[in-house]
Structure 1
Amino acid sequence: MSYDSSATRARLLAAAYDEFVRVGFAGARVDRIATAASANKQAIYAYFGSKEALFDAVLADRLRVLADVVPFTPDDLAGYTGALFDELTADPGLQRLTQWKMLERPEASDQEREAHLSKAGAIAERYGVEVTTAMDAMMIALAAAQSWNMTALVIRNPLDEDPGKRLANHRAAIVTAVAAVTTALLDGPGPGGRK
Protein backbone atom coordinates (compact mmCIF):
# COMPACT_ATOMS: atom_id res chain seq x y z
CA MET A 1 0.00 0.00 0.00
CA SER A 2 1.49 3.35 -1.03
CA TYR A 3 1.60 6.36 1.27
CA ASP A 4 -0.48 9.36 0.16
CA SER A 5 0.83 12.51 1.84
CA SER A 6 -1.93 14.72 0.41
CA ALA A 7 -4.56 12.41 1.92
CA THR A 8 -2.80 12.55 5.32
CA ARG A 9 -2.65 16.33 5.16
CA ALA A 10 -6.35 16.50 4.23
CA ARG A 11 -7.27 14.18 7.12
CA LEU A 12 -5.24 16.32 9.52
CA LEU A 13 -6.98 19.50 8.33
CA ALA A 14 -10.43 17.88 8.69
CA ALA A 15 -9.68 16.51 12.17
CA ALA A 16 -8.15 19.82 13.26
CA TYR A 17 -11.21 21.69 11.98
CA ASP A 18 -13.48 19.51 14.11
CA GLU A 19 -11.24 19.91 17.16
CA PHE A 20 -10.82 23.70 16.84
CA VAL A 21 -14.56 24.21 16.27
CA ARG A 22 -15.38 22.12 19.31
CA VAL A 23 -12.89 23.47 21.88
CA GLY A 24 -11.08 26.41 20.30
CA PHE A 25 -7.37 26.91 19.86
CA ALA A 26 -6.42 26.77 23.55
CA GLY A 27 -8.51 23.68 24.25
CA ALA A 28 -7.39 21.76 21.19
CA ARG A 29 -4.93 18.91 21.68
CA VAL A 30 -2.52 17.81 18.99
CA ASP A 31 -2.71 14.18 20.12
CA ARG A 32 -6.53 14.15 19.71
CA ILE A 33 -6.21 15.68 16.25
CA ALA A 34 -3.61 13.10 15.23
CA THR A 35 -5.71 10.21 16.56
CA ALA A 36 -8.84 11.46 14.79
CA ALA A 37 -6.85 11.77 11.54
CA SER A 38 -5.34 8.28 11.89
CA ALA A 39 -1.91 9.89 11.92
CA ASN A 40 0.77 10.59 14.50
CA LYS A 41 1.64 13.86 16.21
CA GLN A 42 4.88 14.09 14.28
CA ALA A 43 2.87 14.34 11.04
CA ILE A 44 1.24 17.53 12.31
CA TYR A 45 4.63 19.10 12.98
CA ALA A 46 6.03 17.81 9.67
CA TYR A 47 3.16 19.28 7.64
CA PHE A 48 2.37 22.41 9.63
CA GLY A 49 5.23 23.10 12.05
CA SER A 50 3.12 24.00 15.08
CA LYS A 51 -0.38 24.00 16.50
CA GLU A 52 -0.58 27.73 15.68
CA ALA A 53 0.33 27.10 12.05
CA LEU A 54 -2.18 24.22 11.92
CA PHE A 55 -4.94 26.53 13.19
CA ASP A 56 -3.95 29.15 10.58
CA ALA A 57 -3.96 26.48 7.85
CA VAL A 58 -7.42 25.23 8.89
CA LEU A 59 -8.83 28.75 8.93
CA ALA A 60 -7.21 29.64 5.59
CA ASP A 61 -8.50 26.42 4.03
CA ARG A 62 -12.08 27.04 5.18
CA LEU A 63 -12.02 30.71 4.17
CA ARG A 64 -10.65 29.75 0.74
CA VAL A 65 -13.58 27.36 0.27
CA LEU A 66 -15.96 30.08 1.45
CA ALA A 67 -14.44 32.56 -1.03
CA ASP A 68 -14.99 30.06 -3.85
CA VAL A 69 -18.62 29.52 -2.86
CA VAL A 70 -19.33 33.22 -2.22
CA PRO A 71 -17.34 35.36 -4.66
CA PHE A 72 -16.68 38.91 -3.48
CA THR A 73 -18.84 41.47 -5.30
CA PRO A 74 -17.78 45.07 -4.62
CA ASP A 75 -20.65 46.28 -6.84
CA ASP A 76 -23.20 44.62 -4.55
CA LEU A 77 -21.95 44.61 -0.98
CA ALA A 78 -25.45 43.95 0.37
CA GLY A 79 -25.90 40.93 -1.91
CA TYR A 80 -22.46 39.66 -0.93
CA THR A 81 -23.43 40.00 2.74
CA GLY A 82 -26.61 38.01 2.17
CA ALA A 83 -24.77 35.23 0.34
CA LEU A 84 -22.08 35.13 3.01
CA PHE A 85 -24.76 35.01 5.71
CA ASP A 86 -26.40 32.05 3.93
CA GLU A 87 -23.14 30.10 3.87
CA LEU A 88 -22.25 30.91 7.48
CA THR A 89 -25.66 29.87 8.77
CA ALA A 90 -25.44 26.66 6.70
CA ASP A 91 -22.02 25.92 8.25
CA PRO A 92 -22.11 27.00 11.90
CA GLY A 93 -18.74 25.32 12.43
CA LEU A 94 -17.03 27.94 10.28
CA GLN A 95 -18.73 30.70 12.23
CA ARG A 96 -17.57 29.12 15.48
CA LEU A 97 -14.04 28.76 14.16
CA THR A 98 -13.89 32.46 13.28
CA GLN A 99 -15.29 33.36 16.70
CA TRP A 100 -12.61 31.26 18.42
CA LYS A 101 -10.05 33.03 16.23
CA MET A 102 -11.30 36.46 17.32
CA LEU A 103 -11.35 35.45 20.98
CA GLU A 104 -8.08 33.58 21.22
CA ARG A 105 -5.90 34.96 18.42
CA PRO A 106 -7.29 38.41 17.60
CA GLU A 107 -4.26 39.61 15.66
CA ALA A 108 -4.73 39.48 11.90
CA SER A 109 -2.34 37.33 9.91
CA ASP A 110 -0.57 38.75 6.87
CA GLN A 111 -2.88 36.67 4.69
CA GLU A 112 -5.98 38.12 6.41
CA ARG A 113 -4.66 41.67 6.09
CA GLU A 114 -3.92 41.14 2.41
CA ALA A 115 -7.39 39.69 1.74
CA HIS A 116 -9.16 42.53 3.56
CA LEU A 117 -7.05 45.23 1.91
CA SER A 118 -7.64 43.69 -1.50
CA LYS A 119 -11.41 43.75 -0.98
CA ALA A 120 -11.33 47.25 0.46
CA GLY A 121 -9.26 48.36 -2.52
CA ALA A 122 -11.85 46.94 -4.92
CA ILE A 123 -14.64 48.75 -3.06
CA ALA A 124 -12.65 52.00 -2.98
CA GLU A 125 -12.01 51.79 -6.72
CA ARG A 126 -15.63 50.96 -7.50
CA TYR A 127 -17.07 53.83 -5.44
CA GLY A 128 -14.24 56.35 -5.70
CA VAL A 129 -13.71 56.60 -1.94
CA GLU A 130 -10.76 56.32 0.43
CA VAL A 131 -9.59 52.79 1.24
CA THR A 132 -10.26 53.42 4.95
CA THR A 133 -13.90 54.25 4.19
CA ALA A 134 -14.18 51.17 1.99
CA MET A 135 -12.65 49.07 4.80
CA ASP A 136 -15.26 50.41 7.24
CA ALA A 137 -18.07 49.43 4.87
CA MET A 138 -16.57 46.00 4.31
CA MET A 139 -16.11 45.33 8.05
CA ILE A 140 -19.73 46.31 8.68
CA ALA A 141 -20.79 43.86 5.98
CA LEU A 142 -18.65 41.06 7.47
CA ALA A 143 -19.98 41.73 10.98
CA ALA A 144 -23.54 41.69 9.67
CA ALA A 145 -22.95 38.40 7.86
CA GLN A 146 -21.74 36.83 11.11
CA SER A 147 -24.47 38.31 13.29
CA TRP A 148 -26.94 35.41 13.27
CA ASN A 149 -25.09 33.33 15.83
CA MET A 150 -25.13 36.19 18.33
CA THR A 151 -28.72 37.12 17.51
CA ALA A 152 -29.86 33.53 17.89
CA LEU A 153 -28.19 33.33 21.31
CA VAL A 154 -29.50 36.63 22.62
CA ILE A 155 -32.94 36.67 21.07
CA ARG A 156 -34.41 33.22 21.38
CA ASN A 157 -37.35 33.71 19.05
CA PRO A 158 -39.05 36.44 21.11
CA LEU A 159 -42.13 36.51 18.88
CA ASP A 160 -42.51 32.75 18.76
CA GLU A 161 -41.86 32.92 15.05
CA ASP A 162 -41.09 29.89 13.00
CA PRO A 163 -37.26 29.50 13.16
CA GLY A 164 -36.97 29.59 9.36
CA LYS A 165 -39.03 32.76 9.22
CA ARG A 166 -36.90 34.31 11.98
CA LEU A 167 -33.74 33.48 10.02
CA ALA A 168 -35.20 34.93 6.80
CA ASN A 169 -36.28 38.11 8.63
CA HIS A 170 -32.82 38.52 10.11
CA ARG A 171 -31.21 38.00 6.71
CA ALA A 172 -33.48 40.61 5.14
CA ALA A 173 -32.63 43.04 7.95
CA ILE A 174 -28.87 42.70 7.51
CA VAL A 175 -29.05 43.02 3.73
CA THR A 176 -31.14 46.18 4.13
CA ALA A 177 -28.72 47.54 6.74
CA VAL A 178 -25.66 46.90 4.58
CA ALA A 179 -27.41 48.50 1.59
CA ALA A 180 -28.03 51.58 3.75
CA VAL A 181 -24.39 51.61 4.87
CA THR A 182 -23.26 51.30 1.28
CA THR A 183 -25.41 54.25 0.31
CA ALA A 184 -24.37 56.37 3.29
CA LEU A 185 -20.65 55.61 3.31
CA LEU A 186 -19.89 54.91 -0.30
CA ASP A 187 -22.46 56.68 -2.48
CA GLY A 188 -23.65 59.62 -0.47
CA PRO A 189 -22.12 62.93 0.47
CA GLY A 190 -20.65 63.27 3.91
CA PRO A 191 -17.83 61.63 5.85
CA GLY A 192 -16.00 59.23 3.58
CA GLY A 193 -18.53 59.19 0.74
CA ARG A 194 -18.14 60.78 -2.64
CA LYS A 195 -18.59 64.51 -2.66
Structure 2
Amino acid sequence: MMKQRTRRNAAQSRETLLAAATEEFASHGLAGARIDRIAQAAGISKPMLYTYFGDKEALFDAALTQEVMDAAQADRFDPNDLEGYAGRTYDLLVERPRLWRLLTWHHLERGQDVLMLPAGEVLLGEKLDGIAAAQAEGRIVADFTPLDVVRLVAALTQLWCMTGAARDAAEHAARRATIMRAVGRLLRV
Protein backbone atom coordinates (compact mmCIF):
# COMPACT_ATOMS: atom_id res chain seq x y z
CA MET A 1 0.00 0.00 0.00
CA MET A 2 2.81 2.39 0.88
CA LYS A 3 4.58 1.85 -2.48
CA GLN A 4 1.38 2.56 -4.39
CA ARG A 5 0.81 5.77 -2.42
CA THR A 6 4.43 6.82 -2.99
CA ARG A 7 4.10 6.21 -6.74
CA ARG A 8 0.84 8.13 -6.86
CA ASN A 9 2.37 10.98 -4.85
CA ALA A 10 5.42 11.01 -7.13
CA ALA A 11 3.21 11.11 -10.22
CA GLN A 12 1.06 13.80 -8.64
CA SER A 13 4.13 15.84 -7.67
CA ARG A 14 5.54 15.54 -11.18
CA GLU A 15 2.20 16.64 -12.66
CA THR A 16 1.98 19.58 -10.25
CA LEU A 17 5.53 20.63 -11.11
CA LEU A 18 4.82 20.35 -14.82
CA ALA A 19 1.70 22.53 -14.50
CA ALA A 20 3.60 25.19 -12.54
CA ALA A 21 6.51 25.05 -15.00
CA THR A 22 4.18 25.39 -17.98
CA GLU A 23 2.73 28.60 -16.54
CA GLU A 24 6.16 29.97 -15.65
CA PHE A 25 7.73 29.18 -19.02
CA ALA A 26 4.72 30.48 -20.94
CA SER A 27 4.94 33.76 -19.04
CA HIS A 28 8.72 34.24 -18.91
CA GLY A 29 10.34 31.93 -21.45
CA LEU A 30 13.23 29.60 -20.76
CA ALA A 31 15.72 32.33 -19.89
CA GLY A 32 13.32 34.35 -17.74
CA ALA A 33 11.71 31.48 -15.87
CA ARG A 34 12.93 30.86 -12.34
CA ILE A 35 13.20 27.42 -10.78
CA ASP A 36 12.49 28.99 -7.36
CA ARG A 37 9.13 30.32 -8.58
CA ILE A 38 8.23 26.99 -10.18
CA ALA A 39 9.05 25.02 -7.03
CA GLN A 40 7.18 27.52 -4.84
CA ALA A 41 4.10 27.51 -7.10
CA ALA A 42 4.09 23.70 -7.06
CA GLY A 43 4.73 23.51 -3.32
CA ILE A 44 7.69 21.22 -3.95
CA SER A 45 11.35 21.66 -3.05
CA LYS A 46 13.94 22.64 -5.65
CA PRO A 47 15.97 19.46 -5.06
CA MET A 48 12.84 17.40 -5.75
CA LEU A 49 12.25 19.35 -8.96
CA TYR A 50 15.75 18.44 -10.12
CA THR A 51 15.14 14.81 -9.12
CA TYR A 52 12.09 14.66 -11.37
CA PHE A 53 13.35 16.64 -14.36
CA GLY A 54 17.14 16.94 -14.15
CA ASP A 55 17.52 20.57 -15.17
CA LYS A 56 15.63 23.64 -16.32
CA GLU A 57 15.98 22.83 -20.02
CA ALA A 58 14.59 19.32 -19.54
CA LEU A 59 11.69 20.80 -17.58
CA PHE A 60 10.99 23.26 -20.41
CA ASP A 61 11.10 20.40 -22.93
CA ALA A 62 8.68 18.38 -20.80
CA ALA A 63 6.28 21.33 -20.53
CA LEU A 64 6.40 22.03 -24.27
CA THR A 65 6.06 18.34 -25.15
CA GLN A 66 3.03 17.96 -22.88
CA GLU A 67 1.29 20.97 -24.43
CA VAL A 68 2.07 19.82 -27.98
CA MET A 69 0.86 16.28 -27.30
CA ASP A 70 -2.33 17.53 -25.61
CA ALA A 71 -3.03 19.77 -28.59
CA ALA A 72 -2.39 16.96 -31.06
CA GLN A 73 -4.88 14.73 -29.28
CA ALA A 74 -7.50 17.46 -29.54
CA ASP A 75 -7.61 17.22 -33.35
CA ARG A 76 -6.71 14.59 -35.90
CA PHE A 77 -4.96 15.62 -39.09
CA ASP A 78 -6.65 14.93 -42.43
CA PRO A 79 -4.70 15.85 -45.58
CA ASN A 80 -8.00 16.00 -47.47
CA ASP A 81 -9.14 18.85 -45.23
CA LEU A 82 -6.10 21.13 -44.90
CA GLU A 83 -8.36 24.18 -44.74
CA GLY A 84 -10.37 22.74 -41.85
CA TYR A 85 -7.18 21.63 -40.13
CA ALA A 86 -5.77 25.16 -40.40
CA GLY A 87 -8.97 26.64 -38.97
CA ARG A 88 -9.02 24.17 -36.09
CA THR A 89 -5.33 24.79 -35.42
CA TYR A 90 -6.00 28.53 -35.20
CA ASP A 91 -8.89 27.89 -32.81
CA LEU A 92 -6.66 25.66 -30.72
CA LEU A 93 -3.90 28.26 -30.45
CA VAL A 94 -6.43 30.91 -29.45
CA GLU A 95 -8.00 28.59 -26.86
CA ARG A 96 -4.60 27.51 -25.52
CA PRO A 97 -2.45 30.63 -25.29
CA ARG A 98 0.12 28.78 -23.18
CA LEU A 99 0.84 26.52 -26.15
CA TRP A 100 1.29 29.49 -28.49
CA ARG A 101 3.57 31.26 -25.98
CA LEU A 102 5.68 28.13 -25.36
CA LEU A 103 6.11 27.62 -29.10
CA THR A 104 7.11 31.27 -29.50
CA TRP A 105 9.62 31.12 -26.64
CA HIS A 106 11.06 27.92 -28.08
CA HIS A 107 11.59 29.56 -31.48
CA LEU A 108 13.00 32.76 -29.96
CA GLU A 109 15.35 31.22 -27.43
CA ARG A 110 16.43 28.04 -29.14
CA GLY A 111 15.99 28.88 -32.80
CA GLN A 112 14.90 25.30 -33.44
CA ASP A 113 11.96 23.95 -35.35
CA VAL A 114 9.58 22.47 -32.80
CA LEU A 115 8.60 19.88 -35.42
CA MET A 116 12.08 18.39 -35.09
CA LEU A 117 11.72 17.73 -31.35
CA PRO A 118 10.88 14.13 -30.38
CA ALA A 119 7.19 14.99 -29.82
CA GLY A 120 7.08 16.85 -33.11
CA GLU A 121 8.67 13.97 -35.00
CA VAL A 122 6.07 11.55 -33.64
CA LEU A 123 3.24 13.80 -34.81
CA LEU A 124 4.94 14.67 -38.07
CA GLY A 125 5.25 11.17 -39.50
CA GLU A 126 1.56 10.60 -40.20
CA LYS A 127 1.11 14.13 -41.54
CA LEU A 128 3.98 13.83 -43.99
CA ASP A 129 2.79 10.45 -45.22
CA GLY A 130 -0.77 11.74 -45.68
CA ILE A 131 0.37 14.87 -47.49
CA ALA A 132 2.70 12.90 -49.78
CA ALA A 133 -0.17 10.56 -50.68
CA ALA A 134 -2.51 13.50 -51.34
CA GLN A 135 0.17 15.11 -53.52
CA ALA A 136 0.67 11.88 -55.48
CA GLU A 137 -3.10 11.74 -56.05
CA GLY A 138 -3.16 15.37 -57.22
CA ARG A 139 -5.21 16.80 -54.33
CA ILE A 140 -2.44 18.99 -52.91
CA VAL A 141 0.09 20.92 -54.99
CA ALA A 142 3.41 19.15 -55.37
CA ASP A 143 5.36 22.44 -55.51
CA PHE A 144 6.22 22.08 -51.82
CA THR A 145 7.66 19.21 -49.83
CA PRO A 146 5.24 17.62 -47.36
CA LEU A 147 7.25 19.20 -44.52
CA ASP A 148 6.91 22.62 -46.16
CA VAL A 149 3.14 22.11 -46.40
CA VAL A 150 3.00 21.50 -42.63
CA ARG A 151 5.19 24.53 -42.00
CA LEU A 152 3.07 26.76 -44.26
CA VAL A 153 -0.13 25.79 -42.46
CA ALA A 154 1.58 26.35 -39.09
CA ALA A 155 2.94 29.73 -40.20
CA LEU A 156 -0.44 30.96 -41.40
CA THR A 157 -2.19 29.94 -38.19
CA GLN A 158 0.52 31.30 -35.92
CA LEU A 159 0.75 34.59 -37.80
CA TRP A 160 -2.75 35.55 -36.73
CA CYS A 161 -1.93 34.76 -33.10
CA MET A 162 0.91 37.28 -33.25
CA THR A 163 -1.52 40.06 -34.12
CA GLY A 164 -3.21 39.78 -30.73
CA ALA A 165 -6.56 38.46 -29.65
CA ALA A 166 -9.61 39.04 -31.79
CA ARG A 167 -11.91 41.68 -30.31
CA ASP A 168 -15.00 39.51 -30.64
CA ALA A 169 -16.42 36.33 -32.15
CA ALA A 170 -17.02 37.99 -35.53
CA GLU A 171 -13.38 39.05 -35.84
CA HIS A 172 -12.23 35.58 -34.77
CA ALA A 173 -14.47 33.99 -37.40
CA ALA A 174 -13.17 36.38 -40.07
CA ARG A 175 -9.55 35.57 -39.21
CA ARG A 176 -10.31 31.86 -39.24
CA ALA A 177 -12.00 32.14 -42.64
CA THR A 178 -9.02 34.09 -44.02
CA ILE A 179 -6.60 31.42 -42.83
CA MET A 180 -8.70 28.65 -44.35
CA ARG A 181 -9.07 30.49 -47.66
CA ALA A 182 -5.33 31.20 -47.81
CA VAL A 183 -4.46 27.55 -47.15
CA GLY A 184 -6.89 26.41 -49.82
CA ARG A 185 -5.58 28.83 -52.42
CA LEU A 186 -1.96 28.11 -51.63
CA LEU A 187 -2.04 24.35 -51.36
CA ARG A 188 -4.99 22.98 -53.32
CA VAL A 189 -4.66 21.91 -56.95
Please give the range of the TM-score, normalised by the shorter of the 2 chains.
0.7 to 0.9
- State whether residues 72 and 123 of structure 2, in contact with CA within 8 Å, keep that contact through their aligned partners in structure 1: no
Mapped to 2, the partners of 1:52 and 1:130 lie a distance apart of: 38
- Report what 1:121 is aligned to: 129
- State whether residues 67 and 99 of structure 2, in contact with CA within 8 Å, keep that contact through their aligned partners in structure 1: yes
**Greater CA drift, 144-153 or 41-50:** 144-153
**Structure 1: stretches of 5+ with no match in the other structure:** 188-195
Instruction: Kindly state the Cα deviation for residue 132 of structure 1 after the two structures are TM-superposed.
Output: 5.7
Among 12, 25, 38, the residue aligned to 1:7: 12
With CA pairs under 8 Å and 6+ residues apart, which has the higher RCO, 1 or 2?
Answer: 2
Instruction: Kindly state the Cα deviation for residue 135 of structure 1 after the two structures are TM-superposed.
Output: 1.4
Structure 2: which amino acid aligns with 1:55?
Answer: F
Query: Partner of 1:122: helix, strand, or coil?
Result: helix
- Report what 1:72 is aligned to: 77
Mapped to 2, the partners of 1:148 and 1:57 lie a distance apart of: 26
- State whether residues 30 and 51 of structure 1, in contact with CA within 8 Å, keep that contact through their aligned partners in structure 2: yes
| 1:166-181 mapped onto 2 (5 Å cutoff) | 166-181=171-186
**Structure 2: stretches of 5+ with no match in the other structure:** none
| 1:150-169 mapped onto 2 (5 Å cutoff) | 150-152=162-164, 163-169=168-174
- Report what 1:193 is aligned to: none
Mapped to 1, the partners of 2:142 and 2:51 lie a distance apart of: 43
Mapped to 2, the partners of 1:52 and 1:118 lie a distance apart of: 28
Mapped to 2, the partners of 1:132 and 1:94 lie a distance apart of: 27
Residue by residue over 1:6-46, the C-alpha shift from the partner in whole angstroms, topping out at 9 and shown as x without a partner, is 10000010000010011111000111101111111112221
Q: Residues 132 and 116 (structure 1 numbering): CA distance in 2 closer, same or farther, change over 3 Å?
A: farther
Query: Partner of 2:79: helix, strand, or coil?
Result: coil
Structure 2: which amino acid aligns with 1:16?
Answer: A
Sequence identity (%): 38
Structure 1: which amino acid aligns with 2:46?
Answer: K
Mapped to 2, the partners of 1:66 and 1:73 lie a distance apart of: 15
Among 143, 152, 159, the residue aligned to 1:140: 152
- Report what 1:44 is aligned to: 49
- State whether residues 85 and 145 of structure 1, in contact with CA within 8 Å, keep that contact through their aligned partners in structure 2: yes
Structure 2: which amino acid aligns with 1:151?
Answer: T
* TM superposition score normalised by structure 1: 0.82
Mapped to 2, the partners of 1:92 and 1:133 lie a distance apart of: 29
Moved over 4 A (4+): 129-132
Give the number of the structure whose residues are more often helix, by fraction.
Answer: 2
**Greater CA drift, 119-128 or 91-100:** 119-128
Q: Residues 41 and 132 (structure 1 numbering): CA distance in 2 closer, same or farther, change over 3 Å?
A: farther
* TM superposition score normalised by structure 2: 0.85
Instruction: Kindly state the Cα deviation for residue 117 of structure 1 after the two structures are TM-superposed.
Output: 4.7
Residue by residue over 1:55-80, the C-alpha shift from the partner in whole angstroms, topping out at 9 and shown as x without a partner, is 01101101111001011112211111
